[in-house]
Amino acid sequence: MHNLKRLNLGWWLLWLHLLIVPGQVTGDDGLRFYYFNPDSPQNNLGRLKSDMESLLEGFDLAIEFQPFAHLTDFDARVRSDRPAFVFAPHWYLKRNADEIRFNPLLQSVHQQQNSYRKLLVARLGSDEINRPERLTLAMTSLGPGSKQLLANMLNSDGFVAFDKLSIVEVPKDADAIFAAALGQVDVALVSQANMKLFRKINPRLIDSLKVISESTPIDMPVLGYIDGVVTKEQAAALKQFMFSSQNSTVMQTLQIEGWSSHER
Amino acid sequence: MGLKSIRYPAGKLPSIRVYLVSMNLALLLLFTAISLLFWQQISNFYQTEQAEDIVSIHEAMQARSASLVRSMALSANQAITGYDFSFLINLMKQVTDGDQDIQYCTVLSSLGQVVAHNRVDQVGTLAGTPVDKQALALLKDEFIDDQVTDFSIQIIDTPGAVEMQSQMMQVVTPVFNGQELWGILYCGISLAGMQQSIDERTAEWDEEISRIWIFYVTVAAIFILFGFMVSLFITRRLLQAVDQLDAGVKEVSAGDLNYRLSMQGLMCAEFGTFATSFNRMTSNLESSHRTLDEYNRSLEYKVKERTVELARSNKELEAFNYSVSHDLRAPLRSIEGFSQVLSEEYQESLDETGLDYLRRVRAAASRMGVLIDDMLRLSRLGRQEMQVAEVDLSELANATLSKLAESEPERQVSFQVEPGLMIQGDRQLLAIALDNLIGNAWKYTGRREKAEIVFGKAVKEGKSCYFVQDNGAGFDMRYADKLFGAFQRLHKSSDFEGTGIGLATVARIIHRHGGSVWAESEVDAGATFYFQLP
């Protein structure tokens, strides 16, 4: 009987519901901290939410942390809910900062760098890469104009015909690796960190891929606040708080090493 | 009832104890049988409930597992469509980590490649294990061949299919990419936990059955013990009452009509009624007995009175007989004497006629003398004191026959005497009786050339008796009742002389000994005289 209780269907359905539609559980009271980082090796958003909530319990203000898996969800909720704090890719904030009145506070640091690179990988033995007119590419979303952004990232050397490229947007960077390794797409644009991480986890999967090209440096995601939702003092307090938490375990969850000041 | 009591003596009938003990044993056996049947029904009911409980556990396990995998498949569909592999893998991992019964979760593409697995290192491998192949066969055989386009869940048992568990339940469901059957999702769920639940449930059932059994046995034992004690108490009281009645009946039947049954301890109304009726009957019996006793006593008194009167009358009669006989002797002697003188001294003075008359007078006087002697003898027999001793009848008979043979040696008489016939009686009187009986036989065979006389012992109507048998003239049985009367004769004096006092003498002697005498005969065919002594 107790085994059946462990298979509590309701609990699992609720859990799945939270993963699929995370935005619906944002609270009505308190400040919100929205997170979207598709290139992070951290795929477990539940654990991320839990760790961040634990961390933020030590902050003076009550903040509700909410990670997002999909850009569309994240973007829609940022615009509708106007969270106090936002952690998002640099390209997103660069494109939408004025519109959402975003002010940067901190930039994440990985391998002592404020930037990282992405790799264009293809599955070994795949013939499709030789037929660029039918090429499909998996990558995390870059929002509107992603092909141009992609072209900028890769400093196009003629290998990819971007105008004929069919881009498959995946929720996470790791999904691009899976999509390529499992033969669902021809090529994938994945971060170096994820490739490195997956080489440890599933070397067979990474060995089935070959790196075709490497992108230009891409800025690491940025943490900032929405002007008008919190005061500068509150934002400064959070910045100071996050700085002081660089040695906490939550940094491992965020898959970053630390913060660097990043103010406009 | 009387006939039954004769046919079936009370000693052969079973005791009431047998009936009561048999009844109690039968009730005990009946109760035990009913208890066993009742327990069997309870046991069957519990077994059925237990089996249904186990089935419901199975079904619940299957239903919940199927629902979980179905939900996972919905997410898998969405994840596959949206290339959200990391979510799918994470989902697999979370599901398996969160439930120790779920051993693995896998999403296989239609090409047999592991697309998602709770272990990330398994992603990208080709289906190789028997479980994978079995699941893949379902994809090819069931979901494709049967053109299953809707969501479908297949539940299969895979005993021994997975090394880590002896028995697994594998839930397989197709994964769609839009409308296209893209692959399958299957999860292996260990049945160990469920088996443990079943074992625990079974143990609970067993414990419950044991508890009920103990309760049932205890209650049954208490009931049986209580019933036994009540039965024992009632049976003992009943038997005591029956014994009390039985003792009373025996006491009364032994003759104690003063005995009365006590009403105490009779236990039931029927026994009380019986005792009352019995006591009433005994009272009536005692009253009747007392009346009968009084009647008997008055009867005895009357008999004694009559006996005394009779004895006195007999004595007076004997005295009268004796006096008459004795007094008659004197004139008779005068008649005899003077008639003799007359015949001797006045013979010439009388003519033939006178002499003839004189002879007749003398003969009559002589005969009268004999009669008087016999009457005196008969009279003496009644008055004579009896000297009882052992008497040898054979010896007496032989002596009489010898004496008769000597008196008439010319006669041819064969006689046969059974030797050793001993009897208790008065030797002198019995000798007179035998003299008369054998003398009669001698006399009435006087006209036989070869007379036969037998004295012996016989059995008549179950009683031992003695007899004297001859082949003489015999007599007509129509006059047998006159045989033993005094001076009664069945033959003419001219044929056989005699006074008619002999058999009367025999009868009186035998009667004085408390016996009886009778005769059987046919005319000219001889006669047999029997006498029986106590």
Among the candidates B383, B403, B419, a domain finishes at B383
Is B204 among the domain residues? no
- pLDDT (tens digit, 9 = 90+) per residue, B453-484? 999 999 988 888 999 999 998 888 888 888 88
Share of chain A above pLDDT 90, in %: 23
DSSP assignment string, B291-323: HHHHHHHHHHHHHHHHHHHHHHHHHHHHHHHHH
pLDDT at A14 > cutoff 60 = no
Helix (H) or strand (E) holding A224: strand A222-226
- In sequence order, which ranges of B182-268 are alpha helices (DSSP H)? 192-253
Residue B206 lies in a domain: no
Q: Residues B309, B311, B314, CA angle at the centre, nearest 5°?
A: 110
Q: Give me the pLDDT at residue B4, please.
A: 42
Size of interface A-B (CB pairs under 8 A): 112
CATH at residue B97: 3.30.450.20
Identical fold for domains A29-113+219-261 and A118-216, yes or no, is yes
What band does A9 get if pLDDT is binned at 50, 70 and 90? very low
pLDDT higher at A112 or A262: A112
Q: B175 and B280: one domain? A: no
The verdict on B243 touching A (C-beta cutoff 8 Å) is no
Q: Between B172 and B400, whose confidence is greater? A: B400
| B494 vs B171 pLDDT, higher one | B171
Other residues' Cβ atoms within 10 Å of the Cβ of residue A98? 8
pLDDT of B259 higher than 60: yes
DSSP state of A99: H
- Contact with chain B for residue A5, Cβ under 8 A: no
Residues B234, B356, single domain; the answer is no
Q: Sketch the domain layout of chain A as residue ranges.
A: 29-113+219-261, 118-216
B252 domain residue, yes or no: no
Q: Can you give the length of chain B in residues?
A: 534
The per-residue pLDDT for range B71-121, each reduced to its tens digit, is 888 888 888 888 888 888 888 988 999 888 888 899 998 888 899 999 888
pLDDT in tens, B19-38: 888 888 888 888 888 888 98
Q: Has residue A86 got a pLDDT over 90?
A: yes
Q: Is residue B203 part of a domain?
A: no
Which residues in chain B touch residue A198, judged by CB atoms under 8 angstroms apart? 120
Residue B519's pLDDT is: 92
CATH number of the domain located at residue range(s) A29-113+219-261 in this protein:
3.40.190.10
- Could A4 and B194 be called an inter-chain contact, meaning their C-beta atoms sit closer than 8 Å? yes
* CA distances, B284 to each of B246, B281, B363, B471 (Å): 19, 5, 72, 62
CB-CB neighbors (< 8 A) of B67 in chain A = 9
pLDDT score, position B465: 94
**Is the pLDDT assigned to residue B243 strictly greater than 70?**
yes
Do B413 and B453 meet the contact criterion of CB atoms below 8 Å apart? yes
Closest to B180 (Cα-Cα) out of B154, B148, B152? B148
Partners of residue A4 in chain B, C-beta under 8 Å: 57, 60-61, 64, 194, 197
Task: For residue B41, give its domain range.
Answer: 2-52+213-247
Are B217 and B124 contained in the same domain? Answer: no
What pairs with residue B116 in β-bridges? B107
Which has the minimum average pLDDT: A60-74, B143-157, B488-502? B143-157
The answer, for B95 touching chain A at a CB cutoff of 8 Å, is yes
Q: Are residues B271 and B136 in the same domain?
A: no
| Boundary of a domain, candidates B383, B404, B429 | B383
In contact, B186 and B135? CB cutoff 8 Å: yes
Residue with tokens 């028997």: B130
Q: Which residues of A touch B187 (CB under 8 A)?
A: none
Give this complex's ipTM: 0.71
In sequence order, what are the residues at sequence separation of 6 or more whose Cβ sits closer than 8 angstroms to the Cβ of residue B18? none
CB contact under 8 A, A170 and B84: yes
Mean pLDDT along residues B42-50 = 86
Most confident region among A2-11, A37-46, A154-163 by mean pLDDT: A37-46
Residues B375 and B406 in one domain: no
Query: Residue A110: is its pLDDT beyond 60?
Result: yes
CATH 3.90.1170.50 fits A118-216, yes or no: no
Long-range CB contact pairs, B54-63, < 8 A, 24+: B54/B198, B54/B201, B54/B202, B57/A1, B57/A4, B57/B194, B57/B197, B57/B198, B57/B201, B58/B194, B60/A4, B61/A3, B61/A4, B61/A7, B61/B169, B61/B189, B61/B191, B61/B194, B62/B155, B62/B169, B62/B171
Query: Per-residue pLDDT for A36 more than 90?
Result: yes
* B501 in the same domain as B412: yes
Greater confidence (B242 vs A23) lies with B242
Tell if the CB–CB gap between B85 and A7 is shorter than 8 Å: no
Confidence of residue B216 (pLDDT cuts 50, 70, 90): confident
Residues B275 and B354 in one domain: yes
- Please compute the mean of the pLDDT values over residues A7-34 and round it to a whole number: 51
- Domain-terminating residue out of B383, B400, B422: B383
Q: Residues B99, B227: one domain?
A: no
Residue B251 contacts A where some CB pair is shorter than 8 Å: no
B460, B509: one domain: yes
pLDDT band at A19; cut points 50, 70, 90: very low
Strand B451-460 relative to strand B463-470: parallel, antiparallel, unpaired?
antiparallel
Report residue B531: phi and psi, to 5°.
Answer: -140, 145
The reply to whether B515 falls in a domain is: yes
More confident of the two residues A165 and B440: B440
Mean pLDDT of B205-214: 85
- pLDDT bracket for residue A29 (50, 70, 90): low
In a domain, B311, yes or no: yes
Q: Is residue B208 part of a domain?
A: no
Whether residue B273 is found in the same domain as residue B352: yes
Interface contact B194, partner A, CB < 8 A: yes
The answer to whether residue B202 sits within a structural domain is no
Same domain, B375 and B392: no
Q: Residues B82, B190: one domain?
A: yes
Mean of pLDDT values over B416-444? 91
Average pLDDT over residues B381-402: 87
Give the pLDDT confidence of B123-135 residue by residue, as tens digits. 888 887 777 777 7
> Is B56 within 8 Å of chain A by CB?
no
- Is B43 an interface residue toward A (CB < 8 Å)? no
B97 touches chain A (CB under 8 A): no
Q: What percent of chain B has pLDDT over 90?
A: 16
Between A93 and B9, the higher pLDDT residue: A93
Q: Is residue B5 pLDDT above 70, yes or no?
A: no
Task: Provide the pLDDT for residue A159.
Answer: 56
pLDDT for B9 equals: 57
d(CA A226, CA A83): 7
Domain count, chain B: 4
